[in-house]
Structure 1
Amino acid sequence: MKIAILDDYQNAIRSLDCFRLLDGHDVDVLTQSIRDVDALAARIAEAEALVLIRERTPIPRALLERLPRLRFIAQTGKASAHIDLEAAAQLGIPVTESRFSGVATAELVWGVILAAMRRIPQYAANLRAGHWQVSGLEGADTPYGHGLGVALEGRTLGIWGYGRIGRRLARYAQAFDMKVLVWSRPESRALAAEQGHALADGPLDLFARSDVLTLQVRQNAETRGIVTLEHLLAMQPDALFVNTSRAGLVQPGALREALARGRPGLAALDVFDDEPPGADEPLLHMPNVVCTPHLGYVQKENYETLFDAAFRDVLAWQAGTPRHVVNPDALARQRP
């Protein structure tokens, strides 16, 4: 079977233990993203199955209609709006999804929180430039004006979204002697209260009372743009805003304006409106922003889990026993 794996930026997939599951198949691993539909269709024209790395490449109807040999798609992680599931079903292309624990993302969130609060990237960059114990954030003429790192102990971690990752982050916070403040869906708020955490009165209250605020919300039509400039300006000048979920949860331009106005004073971001962002992305050049290149799920054990599941989905479908199909109507229309 001809299998194409898209968007392996680090050329890492062939080195995974689980890659051996595809022995005997013709596997084409693309290490560069191709966004133009015509160019991508030409590049993967022979593929019978696609394996997608999260949402790195959109799979719209226009692309699916250009791939008459394509018969199956395995998504690592949740299948979301980047795949036209209705079009895939109509064309007889089953799509599967795989799950992961969220450990990798939670650990990255905690890593960037520590990095931002202790100014680790700034100190490290200045050390390489020959400056000893200089964070670059010093000076009253800056809107943040707090060059020294600060401790997490005694501060409040605000969590918007109390799912798997949010609950894990709450446990991390307790290990660091932080207070936890939660805003989420009613059932999740009830669980947070049951587990001893404080509840915010609403999003504005969450932003105003949090020293560190992390978004752990799934992006969809209802949640796009849920974080507004008003929310961000409610934060304190020494507070940290963390987004490792999706950039689209924040209204366009709101974070840049809020940071320029000094509320919040710091941000840590793993996601961007355009990925990879261009060199002219303003957030990459703000000294009070710690940026990482969407690494939340990019971790060895997580990759092994995700791709093992995706590859086994491919093999199960080939064997006539499909599993984890999210558009089951496709099964009745499968391409020969």
Structure 2
Amino acid sequence: MKITILDDYQNVIKELKCFDLLKEQLVQIRHHTEKNPEKLAEQLQDTDILVLTRERTKIDDRLLSLLPNLKLISQTGKISNHLNISDCTKHKVLVSEGIGSPIAPAELTWALLMNTVRQLPQAIEAMKAGKWQINIGNTVYEKTIGIWGYGKIGQLIAQYAKVFGANVIIWGSEKSRAKALADGFSTTNSKEVFFKTADIITIHLRLTKDTLGIIRETDLMRMKENSILINTARAELIEKGALVHCLKKGRPSFAGLDVYEEEPIYNRDNELLKMPQVICTPHLGYVERNSYERYFGKAFENALNYINGHPTNIVNKEIL
């Protein structure tokens, strides 16, 4: 069977130790994301097993209808909105789910938060240009960090903040807030108070039909002067176009972003990249060597198990 791995931006998958699992297999690796379903289907006509790099390519009815030979999709990490399970089931394509880890995304979030608070990238770039001490940042100590979403990543961020001497407030579901209180952190009684109170807000929600656009322009405009928004979750959690509009009005005053409404971004004139108060990273949350070994290792195992006749971690078992 032919295995195709999509969206290896950095050309690193062949260097992973876990790639040895596929040494006896026929493997094709694609390095550039193709968003046009017809053009992508042309590249995948003889593919039996598709290995996805997280959520970089959308899999839906239109694409699947053009891939009659496809038998299995092996997902790196957990399945999200990029992959329509109902469409896969309709076209008799099995889907196997991988495993995830909160560690790399949490560390990236904290690094982005610290760089945004202290304004380090701007100082570094100025120094490279022959300038000295062009700005003045701030500290995390005694700031109030608002965390929306108290899952595995949010819980790690709360502990990081505690170590740095920051105050923590949690917003989210009733269950999340109850868990936060049990862990010794504060919560607020409304979303409005959450946005008005926090000096720094970091978002850690899963993107679902219920959370799409859940952060409104009115929420952002409630943020304090000199406030900071960090988003390493999903750009679509924020009302479309609202963040750019509010940044221009100074609410929030600064932002650290790892996710965007359209990815990847190759246009150097992208509006967010032009804003001096915004620090951008190219969706690096899970992009780290140990995470890649973990994510792709499980995805490759699931592919091999299918080839060997005993599929594992299948989501749509009804078509087995």
* Bin of the TM-score, shorter chain as denominator length: over 0.9
Contact 1:243/1:269 (8 A) holds in 2: yes
Specify the SS of the correspondent of 2:146.
Answer: strand
Separation in 2, partners of 1:11, 1:134:
37
Q: Give 1:280 deviation, angstroms.
A: 3.0
User: Does residue 51 of structure 1 match 2:18?
Assistant: no
**What corresponds to 1:123 in structure 2?**
123
Specify the SS of the correspondent of 1:325.
Answer: coil
Provide the alpha-carbon RMSD of the alignment: 1.0
Separation in 2, partners of 1:54, 1:88:
17
**What corresponds to 1:30 in structure 2?**
30
Contact 1:316/1:323 (8 A) holds in 2: yes
**What corresponds to 2:296 in structure 1?**
307
How do 1:207-218 and structure 2 match up within 5 A?
A: 207-218=195-206
Q: Identity percentage over the alignment?
A: 40
Name the amino acid aligned to 2:94: P
How do 1:192-203 and structure 2 match up within 5 A?
A: 192-203=180-191
Q: Give 1:263 deviation, angstroms.
A: 1.4
Separation in 2, partners of 1:204, 1:328:
43
Name the amino acid aligned to 2:110: W
User: Does residue 263 of structure 1 match 2:264?
Assistant: no
Name the amino acid aligned to 1:104: A
Separation in 1, partners of 2:318, 2:269:
44
Separation in 1, partners of 2:208, 2:30:
28
Separation in 1, partners of 2:76, 2:256:
25
Name the amino acid aligned to 1:180: V
Name structure 2 gaps, 5 residues minimum.
none
**What corresponds to 1:143 in structure 2?**
none
How do 1:147-166 and structure 2 match up within 5 A?
A: 148-166=136-154
Contact 2:150/2:204 (8 A) holds in 1: yes
Q: Kindly report structure 1 stretches of 4+ aligned residues shifted beyond 6 Å.
A: none
Aligned with residue 248 of structure 1, among 229, 236, 244 = 236
Separation in 1, partners of 2:115, 2:319:
46
User: Does residue 188 of structure 1 match 2:176?
Assistant: yes
Render the CA deviation track for 1:57-101: whole Å, top value 9, x for unaligned.
Answer: 111111111111111000112212212211211222110111222
**What corresponds to 1:138 in structure 2?**
none
Render the CA deviation track for 1:256-304: whole Å, top value 9, x for unaligned.
Answer: 1111111111000000000012333211110000000000000000000
TM-score, normalization by structure 1: 0.93
Render the CA deviation track for 1:220-268: whole Å, top value 9, x for unaligned.
Answer: 1110111111111111121110010000000011111111111111000
Q: Which moved more, 1:277-286 or 1:94-103?
A: 277-286
Separation in 2, partners of 1:304, 1:110:
22
Name structure 1 gaps, 5 residues minimum.
136-147, 332-336
